Amino acid sequence: MRLRSRSQAGLSQVQQQYLREGADEDGGYNGTDSLGIEEQIENVEERPQGRRDCWGTRGQRRSARLIDGIGDHTNMTISPALLAQHFEYSLWASLKVLEVAEKLSTDVVEKDRGNSFGGILGTLTHVFQADRIWWKRFTGQPYSGLAIEGEVLDLAALKREWPAVMQGFVDWIRSQEAGDLEQRLEWRNLKGEEKNEVKYKLLLHVVNHGTYHRGQVITMIKQAGGDVVSTDLLFYPGM
């Protein structure tokens, strides 16, 4: 199979199948080689409902139907305290990955490995910027994109700046009542489109997004000869 761009080599078979159906990761192929990197964090919200039945394996289609079936969030509740712990876990896991990445040379960390966001540093940067932009959305701060003009993010900068973002989430979540998290958040995506979704669902999306990409980073570190680190929730001492 010939992929539309070299960087798509890092996509899963399911993602590649979706691209072959004529759509990019944002739900609408734009006829270019761009993967819509700045919008990838919004895949869950923006994938067209009508495309789900032709997307993925039989089991994945069944899961999609089950997800669609609870779209009204009937009887769905989540404890703010538990959700806050998941953000504490996400920070803990990210810092553990940064710790092992710091043992590698700069060239190894910055090398483009054909992954979704290049390599180790590129993928960690993406996760941090995604966390940050969602934090800005939840707190009503202005933003124009994932990156801030002129910023240079290396491992040291990520290690320095990430805790403030995630602790901001934790403090905000702990200040909420359970019913508050069932309200909807309105925001404008990076395409300028107006969106809205239930708050706790978006918060779980932020945590899950980080978990997904950390797995990629851990694999790249191992392939580069670095230390293996376990970031499974089971081993998080805070829960």
Confidence check: pLDDT of 238 > 70: yes
In a domain, residue 192? The reply is: yes
Cβ burial, residue 69 (10 Å; 0-12/13-18/19+): exposed
Confidence check: pLDDT of 134 > 80: yes
Name the residue among 78, 190, 191 with its Cα closest to residue 129: 190
Same domain, 29 and 87: no
In a domain, residue 141? The reply is: yes
Domain closes at, from 69, 104, 122: 69
pTM score, whole prediction: 0.71
Same domain, 58 and 84: no
Same domain, 93 and 153: yes
Q: Domain tally for the chain?
A: 2
- DSSP track, 26-46: TSS--SSS---GGGGGGHHHH
In a domain, residue 20? The reply is: yes
Residues 4-23: tens digit of each pLDDT: 333 444 444 434 443 344 33
Same domain, 117 and 219: yes
Higher pLDDT, 227 or 35: 227
Instruction: Print the domain residue range for 43.
Output: 6-69
**CB 83, CB 203: distance < 8 Å:** yes
Confidence check: pLDDT of 156 > 80: yes
Which residues neighbour 36 within 8 Å (Cβ) at sequence distance 6 or greater?
Answer: 24, 25, 26, 30
In a domain, residue 75? The reply is: no
In a domain, residue 134? The reply is: yes
In a domain, residue 220? The reply is: yes
CATH number at residue 159: 1.20.120.450
In a domain, residue 1? The reply is: no
Alpha-carbon distance 78 to 158, whole Å?
A: 30
Same domain, 128 and 90: yes
**CB 198, CB 73: distance < 8 Å:** yes
Beta strands in 129-233 (DSSP E): 184-188, 194-198
Alpha-carbon distance 168 to 171, whole Å?
A: 5
